[in-house]
Amino acid sequence: MANVKDTLDEYGERICSKLGFSPISNSTKPLTIANSLFRACSGITCDIRDMHEWVACEHKAGPKIVSSYDLRVKYKDILLHEEDESVEEIREVRFIFDKIFNPDSTVFPQHKDSVLNIPSQWFVRNTLRAEGQIGRFIFNILSGVIDGKEEISPAVKLITNSLRCDDDDITRLMKPIITSKPEAERKTSKEVQPSKKELNFTEQIIRRGFDNLAENMIFTGQAQNSLLVLQRMANYAVFSIFFYLIDVNHCEYKGDRVPLMLASNAELGAIERASELSFISCKRMVEEYITNVLEDMIIADQILLRYDDDICRNYIERNVVLEEKKESSNAREALLQYYDTYIANGEAPVRALARAIQFALYTFTYKNCTPSEFLYYLGVRSGFVGPRGNATKYKRLMINRFTLETIVLSTVCLQEFSDGLELSELGQLLRDKYCILIGTDTDEDYSILEQANIAQEAPEDLRGELADNAKAISDMLITIGLAKRYADGVTIIGWGL
């Protein structure tokens, strides 16, 4: 008789399948997502084991790391002085390689878990465990049907053209190693098949963001810089996954949109608190989505004849299948306690069951990283959540200049606004597209925060600090060349002002 699958594990897998990717690894980083996306767009996979040997420095622990002495022997044909090359010089080169090709700390002693910085196609490798099918999910959006049209996003062509360019300064550092092996042995290519899927509301927002970002990079001439293109596309890909996780409940279950209160670095206490509460709301919205999905699955599976208290309780006690390890960890008892708590709070039995399973998933199945924690890791690593480090107890939605520029370029069509647009107009576009608030309209932004029960828990001077926050954000846009402030105090957003 075949083994019956653990109920919690099965629901955990089905939720990831429903999402289209698996947000349950704390090892997922921007370079991991970039590798997955670039491979999905180009169809190219390369063998990077020899490059990995050079980048994995000797100062990193692990028996898998090749010593500089052994590298000198193994790669004597590409060295200037062959076996007479100084071992110390090789160590120094490897240290430099580590700084350049391992900025995300994604290079480990073992090759199978490592990904290098990706300046061109030669650094795109096969699948990593931490990818969670994110690249394929985004590519399906980039090649999906939008406005009834089966058109692939211009972002795909921009990415693939940039990957083909391998005469950049970063790739050239590795050229002696790359060319030491025939191309046929190093590179595998397969035809890319567009998904042609119908995009939901949130996917359409992301798709238009990629389209706009690509068109703006072409318009401004940034597309000529292949390194910048790849960095920018990867940066927006990470943000788009963050955004999808918090907006999909609104899309599929008509839940409220989470206001993303972006805090500048102006040390505005009320804004910072509102931004902290906004990030907490983001995590709660992910949990609400999972509960809604579970309730749908319970009803669709018809596992219960009726949805009354006794039936649901009996299902937990007798029909939920748990692996031995979970049984010994008292998972069933915990599941019953969760259920009783939600029943006591007035939840309907089927809803209480769904909430209890969601809580149990977070405790016993998603032990390494829950989808809510995934938001934190992704946000911090993409420059959308901070501050970095463990010193600050509460994280908030704060943004670095590069990510701010990326989001603006995904929102505003610079070619349409040849004379620029006012800061208040940018605020409205961000509000409409992503529900991002920066404080450009005090009354509207405060009202949105109030409806989300954020303003009530923030300090009383929140309303007064919104305008100051908008000014600080505009200062950031000015420093990156996307805005100009005139003598009358008006800030205009645009290119080449």
417 part of a folded domain? yes
- pLDDT digit string, tens, across residues 421-458: 999 999 999 999 999 999 999 999 999 999 999 999 99
- For 262, the token pair is 């972006």
- Is residue 486, in this structure, part of any structural domain at all? yes
Residue 239 lies in a domain: no
Tell me, yes or no, whether 296 lies in a domain.
Answer: no
| Residue 259 in domain | yes
In this structure, the strands spanning 491-493 and 421-422 are: antiparallel
pLDDT in tens, 106-118: 999 889 999 999 9
The domain of 410 spans 254-270+384-493
Domain count, the chain: 1
Phi, psi of 19 (to 5 degrees): -65, -40
Q: What pLDDT is attached to residue 403?
A: 94
pLDDT value of position 1: 36
Distances (CA, A) of 301 to 295, 296, 298, 361: 10, 8, 5, 18
Ramachandran region, residue 371 (left: φ > 0; alpha: ψ -120 to 50; beta: rest): alpha
pTM for the structure as a whole: 0.95
Q: In the Cβ-directed half-sphere of 295, how many Cα atoms lie within 13 Å? A: 15
Is 448 a domain residue? yes
What is the radius of gyration, based on Cα positions, of the chain? Answer: 25
Which parts of the chain sit beneath pLDDT 50?
1-2
424 inside domain: yes
Residue 483 lies in a domain: yes
